[in-house]
Structure 1
């Protein structure tokens, strides 16, 4: 039991600190300005739980077999697509909290897919693979999931504040810019890694 708690505490700290300022926080903030809070939190929870679980299950031995550069390139194309989609705007609905957010039926799936793809092969996955190969797997999964969720929830609540206080057109342009820039960065990283 002590090994579980040690692994969970270590993983929480490593992943939480590693996620500060990471692209997943920018995505979480952006999603919180565009979708219902429950869709963002549920989508992030599903994606993060699955990602950390996959990382721990694979372990460091199988980590080198994943085609992470191709996955990163697919994520880059997806992000640029999200950015272009954000530019077109959508109709607004009232959230249960009373603020106006945009929501498509696919909002939950968008959050799950984007978060999962963005972090696949990223430092969070590598940290979880490494920790999972050295410490109690259940502890790493619990601690890593909680650490990433905690870091990204900070960004979600910042995004909710932004949605309430910043005009919609600035949110739309800012969201588009964030996704396109992240897509370009991911694309450059993927192409550079594939050509080395």
Structure 2
């Protein structure tokens, strides 16, 4: 359960102001149909984070524990630094137009899935699944975290985004990632 709660919190915080959250805002503004957008985001996230969690678990079978420890610790520390770099959404209007022939659901699913590839939250999912021996709890937690961050963005839109202290949220997320990275090292060498 700890893995689930930590994964939920980390991804919910990491998603605030992230490019996929900005994409969710843009899709909501364009289509004004929150239910199919949210269902598409949910399914794209389940598939993306399910594959990411499986990759994280697989990595633990092909690397020595010592190498994996250092990769995980440095990965979490790297995520802390990455959280301090604000995301920007490139001109996605062209991308939305390209995929709109698939309808609201199809366009949202495709765009969200593609935008999540290599994103902070996907990499966090891989790292969390490698850190904890619980593919299902990590995948469920990271998916819930994505939905907690994106559902309000879809329903409320820019009104909420303007009021959230995104910079502070990113700093808190960075501290959490840094703490996990440092704790991973300290736990191995001192406890």
Q: Is the 8 A contact 1:31 1:40 kept in 2?
A: yes
Selected match of 2:146 from 130, 136, 148: 148
The number of aligned residues is 127
Q: Which residue of 2 aligns with 1:32?
A: 28
Q: Which residue of 1 aligns with 2:117?
A: 120
CA RMSD, 1 decimal: 2.6
Q: Which residue of 2 aligns with 1:76?
A: none
* C-alpha distance in 2 between matches for 1:119 and 1:85: 14
Selected match of 1:110 from 95, 107, 111: 107
* C-alpha distance in 2 between matches for 1:120 and 1:54: 11
Normalization by structure 1: what TM-score? 0.58
2:126 aligned with 1:129: yes
Q: Is the 8 A contact 1:31 1:159 kept in 2?
A: no
2:44 aligned with 1:47: yes
Per-residue CA shift, 1:52-91, capped at 9, x if unaligned?
A: 11110111739xxxxxxxxxxxxxxxx65x423768xxxx
* C-alpha distance in 1 between matches for 2:12 and 2:95: 30
Structure 1 106/11 Cα, relative in aligned 2: closer, same or farther at 3 Å? same
Q: Is the 8 A contact 1:32 1:160 kept in 2?
A: no
* C-alpha distance in 2 between matches for 1:86 and 1:146: 25
Once the two structures are superposed, the pairs formed by residues 8-27 of structure 1 within 5 Å of their partners are 8-27=4-23
* C-alpha distance in 1 between matches for 2:56 and 2:151: 27
Q: Which residue of 1 aligns with 2:87?
A: none
Normalization by structure 2: what TM-score? 0.59
* C-alpha distance in 2 between matches for 1:59 and 1:45: 20
The CA deviation at 1:38 is 1.7
Structure 1 137/84 Cα, relative in aligned 2: closer, same or farther at 3 Å? closer
- Show structure 1 runs of 5+ residues with no match: 63-78, 88-102, 163-196
* C-alpha distance in 2 between matches for 1:158 and 1:142: 24
- Show structure 2 runs of 5+ residues with no match: 63-89, 161-191
